[in-house]
Amino acid sequence: MKARVTIMLKDGVLDPQGEAIRHALGGLGFAGVSGVRQGKVIELDLAASDAEAARAEVARMCEGLLANTVIEKYAVEIV
């Protein structure tokens, strides 16, 4: 079973990488981009066979290591 975790900065947290991307896109002629939020995606191969148990296990991984829950939010998708 695979799990996909999407980690993004929480709303209100400054995103300097996103701002740099937005600025670079403007420099390349993409003037219609008014905001960019940059994040990361982590894919995990799991031995679990129960989707809900896998989701709970991945959430514990996020809380313990994968995401900085002070400034980041995460979403778990079982695929």
* pLDDT, tens only, 45-63: 999 999 999 999 999 999 9
**Which pLDDT score is estimated for 13?**
97
Terminal CA-to-CA distance of the chain, rounded, Å? 7
**Structural domains of the chain in order of their starting residue, each with its CATH number:** 2-78 (3.30.1280.10)
> Do the beta carbons of residue 79 and residue 5 sit within 8 Å?
no
Instruction: Work out the pLDDT band at 67, boundaries 50, 70, 90.
Output: very high
For 76, other C-beta atoms within 10 Å of its C-beta total 19
Q: What percent of the chain has pLDDT over 90?
A: 97
Element (H, E) at 60: helix 51-61
**Which pLDDT score is estimated for 74?**
98
**Which pLDDT score is estimated for 40?**
98
